[in-house]
Amino acid sequence: MIQIKDLLEVLPLLIIAFSAIFILLLEVSIKKSETVIFGFSLIAILAAIATSFNYFNKEMIIFNQFLRISNASLTFSVIILISMLITVIASKSYIEKENVNFGEYYSMLLFALMGMMLMIFANDILIIFIGLELMSVCFYVLAGFLRLRQKSNESALKYFLLGAFMTGFILYGIALIYGITGTTNLTLIFSDAKVLTNYVFIIGTALLIIGFMFKIGVFPFHMWIPDVYDGAPTVVSGMLSTAGKIAAVGTILPIILAVNILNFKIIFSVAAVATMLYGNVIALAQTNIKRLLAYSSIASAGYIFVGVASMNEFALRGIAYYLIAYTFMQLGAFIIVAMLEKKDDGSRDYKNVDLDFYKGLGKRNPVIATFMTFFLFSLAGIPPFAGFWGKYYLFFAAIKSNQIWLAVVAILLSLIGVYYYLKIIVYMWFSESLEPVSEEKFSFSDTGFAATVLAVIGTILFGVDPNLFFSLFKFVTP
């Protein structure tokens, strides 16, 4: 039976769940409720972040063994909350600009957030499945939120069909695991060492991991990423590429570590190398900045998988650090693209998302161009920014697990990445503008600007002082 005490232990989750439902009531009971809802969801997320910090260093299994609160899961959930906070702030101006200013948008974001947190705290495959579906269904809706724009519809349909297809595989994997172990509880499943070598169990786990690799966008299952991120509303693409990925990584990581079959290690290494190669090489040829960032997010999934393939105590630190750096830089870059995007004029395509538009941005709009430069330097992994330390800790983990070749290949492939990030920077600062300079209409009252400032602060703060992160999230030095 669930004690009242248990409810207090998952306060962040309860706050998010309650506010997601309450927003629906607000939406139908107040006229012109969008601003109220925006404020309400901001407060809810801030409250959830604030309460999360109470539970560090208190490892516990609660709710009839359905949920497990640990430092690692709390870290991932706080990173997701931060990502969602920035997304919500940036969304306000964006959905006003695109003429889809509905309260349901925030409700969808919070429901997705609740699903992601459930997934991460789950100690039972049932909860993982519920969280995954809550997240995915909200993501399908969000990807198609610009319902009059054909590109957005198309992206939603592709995401939906492929996502539902992969759900089938995840479920079949769960069914096989359940059939072999007779339970859905993760603690019980992994308590019996004999079952880990059962081949049906291995097939089931492999299907489960494959489904999550799809959600993360690792090499053989990455095909949906550019199409979906290209067609989805730009702020939502940023959210999908950060929060969605972090949730999937945070869920599957404990399972991969618990299974820890050494034969899997080489598979993960190969997948990581293929993902980095694919993402970085195809990104070179892109002319649309949303697609370029999508391929860069595939490459980032590859870097994360370098950490997964290492499977040692350094890997968790590296992955967590890279994810928070990635949240700030990738989301910040997407939000800048969203801010520069042209106002909705009833056309079926997004305007101002070509790379050519970024030529001479430094002269037209120096502040935004400087911020974009920070994010791109960070994505490229150049030292004073957070992205550098993220990659450093990941590659360090690979070296510590005796996979020096993997670290070397990863460094070489991330050098390819530097080329296309620097290309945008060169376009911004050293190319002649194709647009007339006076065309630029940009105001600092755009909430996207506040979100970008937050992201810049994060990128620089965690870049200057990497130990801040580890002390904030109570990581023990291995």
Q: Mask 7-46, x = binds other proteins (CB under 8 A)?
A: --------------x--xx-xxx-----------------
Q: Does 179 bind other proteins (CB under 8 A)?
A: yes
Footprint on residues 246-265 left by other proteins (CB under 8 A): none
CA distances from 390 to 320, 323, 371 (A): 8, 8, 19
CA distances from 162 to 136, 157, 185, 201, 228 (A): 11, 8, 28, 25, 11
Dump strand ranges (E) for 13-66.
60-62
Q: Mask 98-127, x = binds other proteins (CB under 8 A)?
A: ----------------------------x-
**Contact present, 203 and 176 (Cβ < 8 Å):** yes
Q: How many residues bind other proteins (CB under 8 A)?
A: 48
CA 315 remoteness from chain centre: 18
Q: What is the dihedral of CA 358, 360, 361, 365, to 10 degrees?
A: -160
Q: Between residues 7 and 437, which has the closer beta carbon with respect to other proteins?
A: 7
Q: Could you tell me what percentage of the chain is helix, strand and coil, using 3-state DSSP and rounding each to the nearest 5? A: 80, 0, 20
**Contact present, 234 and 339 (Cβ < 8 Å):** no
Q: What is the DSSP letter of 465?
A: -
Which amino acid is located at 165 in the chain? F
Q: Mask 336-375, x = binds other proteins (CB under 8 A)?
A: ------------x---------------------------
Q: Does 462 bind other proteins (CB under 8 A)?
A: no
Beta carbon of residue 151, minimum distance to other proteins (angstroms, whole number): 6
Q: Does 51 bind other proteins (CB under 8 A)?
A: no
Instruction: Report d(CA 72, CA 419) in Å as an integer.
Output: 34
Instruction: Report d(CA 343, CA 339) in Å as an integer.
Output: 9
Q: Does 230 bind other proteins (CB under 8 A)?
A: yes
Q: Please identify, among the stretches 46-54, 132-140, 252-260, 262-270, the one whose residues bind other proteins according to the rule CB under 8 A.
A: 132-140
Kindly tell me which residue out of 35, 50, 165, 367 binds other proteins, with binding defined by CB under 8 A.
165
Q: Mask 208-227, x = binds other proteins (CB under 8 A)?
A: ------------------xx
Kindly tell me which residue out of 222, 291, 317, 391 binds other proteins, with binding defined by CB under 8 A.
291
Q: Between residues 153 and 312, which has the closer beta carbon with respect to other proteins?
A: 153
Which amino acid is located at 216 in the chain? I
Q: Between residues 129 and 377, which has the closer beta carbon with respect to other proteins?
A: 129
Q: Between residues 189 and 252, which has the closer beta carbon with respect to other proteins?
A: 189
Instruction: Report d(CA 132, CA 124) in Å as an integer.
Output: 12
Beta carbon of residue 226, minimum distance to other proteins (angstroms, whole number): 8
Ramachandran quadrant class, 56 (left: phi over 0; alpha: psi -120 to 50; beta: rest): beta
Instruction: Report d(CA 243, CA 88) in Å as an integer.
Output: 12
Beta carbon of residue 227, minimum distance to other proteins (angstroms, whole number): 4
Q: Between residues 166 and 406, which has the closer beta carbon with respect to other proteins?
A: 166
CA distances from 100 to 149, 352, 389 (A): 11, 19, 38
Beta carbon of residue 259, minimum distance to other proteins (angstroms, whole number): 20
Instruction: Report d(CA 429, CA 366) in Å as an integer.
Output: 9
Residues at the site binding other proteins, with contacts judged by CB under 8 A: 1, 21, 24-25, 27-29, 126, 129-130, 133, 137, 140-141, 144, 147-151, 153-158, 160-161, 164-165, 167-168, 171-172, 174-176, 178-179, 182-184, 226-227, 230-231, 291, 348
